[in-house]
Amino acid sequence: QTVVTQEPSFSVSPGGTVTLTCGLSSGSVSSDYYPTWYQQTPGQAPRTVIYSTNTRSSGVPDRFSGSILGNKAALTITGAQADDESDYYCVLYMGSGISVFGGGTKLTVL
């Protein structure tokens, strides 16, 4: 079974730029996987940040952007703020109505 891979953790300084990635254990991620990114803080339900590779969800600041970088999907935060400190999960569409979450990246802003 194909596994969706993410960095377990990442840190960024306030005001800095960070790129989180989402890959596959076998193969390359393209826009055909319609990558979606969710942000989750402790004790809360996730909220959508990016869907369909690079579309920001309603109300999401424009410092968040999505793209395909090489063979992975990417979520870039430009000008990170303290309240961006969260867990970030990508989801890839595998076809036949099925999606799979990645393991998540814990982002620390310090």
Dig out the tokens for 70 from the structure: 């090489």
- H-helix or E-strand spanning residue 84: none
95 is a contact residue toward other proteins (CB under 8 A): yes
10 is a contact residue toward other proteins (CB under 8 A): no
CA distance 109 to 68: 24
Dig out the tokens for 107 from the structure: 């982002």
Kindly tell me which of 79 and 93 has the beta carbon lying closer to other proteins. 93
Yes or no: say if 44 and 95 are a contact pair by the CB < 8 Å rule. no
97 is a contact residue toward other proteins (CB under 8 A): yes
Kindly tell me which of 10 and 16 has the beta carbon lying closer to other proteins. 10
Q: Which of 30, 51, 56, 68: binder of other proteins (CB under 8 A)? A: 51
CA distance 75 to 2: 21
Q: By CB under 8 A, name the binding residues for other proteins.
A: 1, 32-34, 36, 38, 40, 45-48, 51-52, 57, 87, 89, 91, 93, 95-104
